[in-house]
Amino acid sequence: MKVTRLVIGIVSMLMALLVTFQSCFAGLSNALEENGEAGGTGGVFLAVFAIVAGIIAIVTRAGQGKGPFVAAGFYLLAGLIGFASAGSYSDLYIWAAICIVFGIVFIVGTIVERKKK
């Protein structure tokens, strides 16, 4: 599970960079269209939470303590923010689903790993 946490942490940090750029353009589009949506802002928040979760995932990849559950909490929160604020920014649904999956992998993997010990 150590390698999985490391890979997910790196992937989520790279994903966050892509989401940040997309969200900036989605926010600009929302502002120019004056449609009142907040998909761009929600995407930036998702990216910030994904970066924080990725850093926590990498630092606590040994699985000791509550670190994996904290990372999972950030992933799940990022996913909820993404789903709640996506609007016409449909890619945000995909990024939010990926964050939810990462959070579930962290929770299930940590529980299974601790039961084996």
Alpha-helical segments (H) within 1-117? 2-33, 39-59, 67-85, 91-116
Check residue 47 and give its pLDDT.
Answer: 95
pTM summary value: 0.89
What pLDDT, on the 0 to 100 scale, is given for residue 90? Answer: 83
Q: What is the pLDDT of residue 63?
A: 67
- In percent, the amount of the chain with pLDDT more than 90 equals 55
Angle of CA points 94, 41, 88, to nearest 5°: 50
Average pLDDT of the chain, as a whole number: 90
pLDDT at 114 over 90: no
C-alpha span between 97 and 89 (Å, rounded): 14
CB 103 within 8 A of CB 52: no
28-84: per-residue pLDDT in tens? 887 888 887 778 888 999 999 999 999 999 998 876 788 899 999 999 999 999 999
Selected residue with higher pLDDT from 12 and 63: 12
